[in-house]
Amino acid sequence: MRLSATLACASQINMIEDIRELEKAGIDLLHIDIMDGNYVPNLSLNFRLCQEIKETFPNMALDIHMMVTNPLQYIKQAADIQAEWFTFHMHATHFPCRMIDAIKQSGMKAGVAINPSEPISNLLPIIAKVDMVLLMAIEPGFSGQQFMDASYERISQLNKIRQEKQLDFIINVDGGIDPVSGKKSIESGADLLVMGMFACFNQVDSIWEACMKFHQHING
């Protein structure tokens, strides 16, 4: 089980300090949302900031989640900052197979995101090609939403497909993760959880303490 943390929930003023706390807690993967204001009605981090984060924290892997209308044009920028993952929404491109090939040719791992309103079956044409499925447990674009309980069954569906087809893609769950939903997601078949404001940020405890408690709960 691997944990990541979304910088969409980190302090924009004290982000460096927040990342140091995450690193101290053993978190080695940062989930970074890139939004263009079109695919979702919001804006978030940019590649210049991502570059500075990578230079400051070279041991941190970057998981770039593209919530944009034309993800293909950003592959080179993500590769240039040595991102580990590049995740796109399938219906944001007319050529998902071409996207996956371009991502892998650039040296990154390819992820595809699926929204709560989309049936899991939509992924079947490309699921054998991806390294990760990012299952959105909330509507994309805004933090602070509650985890959708229907996500557990969707995780189980993905896990069943993986087993039946003998595939090895990672199931990553993003949105509304707290200790309870995190543990249930793992029990349903998730491999990776994106922690946000209900897990490690905006807590009474420090980020380090919140991460430790979260880790203990999901493994308890």
Q: Which residues contact 58 (CB under 8 A, 6 or more apart)?
A: none
Residue 33: active-site member? yes
Among residues 18, 33, 131, 191, the one annotated as catalytic is 33
d(CA 135, CA 154): 8
d(CA 14, CA 69): 30
Among residues 18, 131, 174, 191, the one annotated as catalytic is 174
3-state secondary structure of 3: strand
Q: Which strand (E) or helix (H) includes residue 148? A: none
Q: Which residues sit opposite 172 in a β-bridge?
A: 134, 192
Burial of 14 (0-12, 13-18, 19+ CB in 10 A): exposed
Helices (H), 38-136: 47-56, 75-80, 96-105
Residue 63: active-site member? no
d(CA 148, CA 150): 5
Q: Any idea which residues carry the catalytic annotation? A: 33, 174
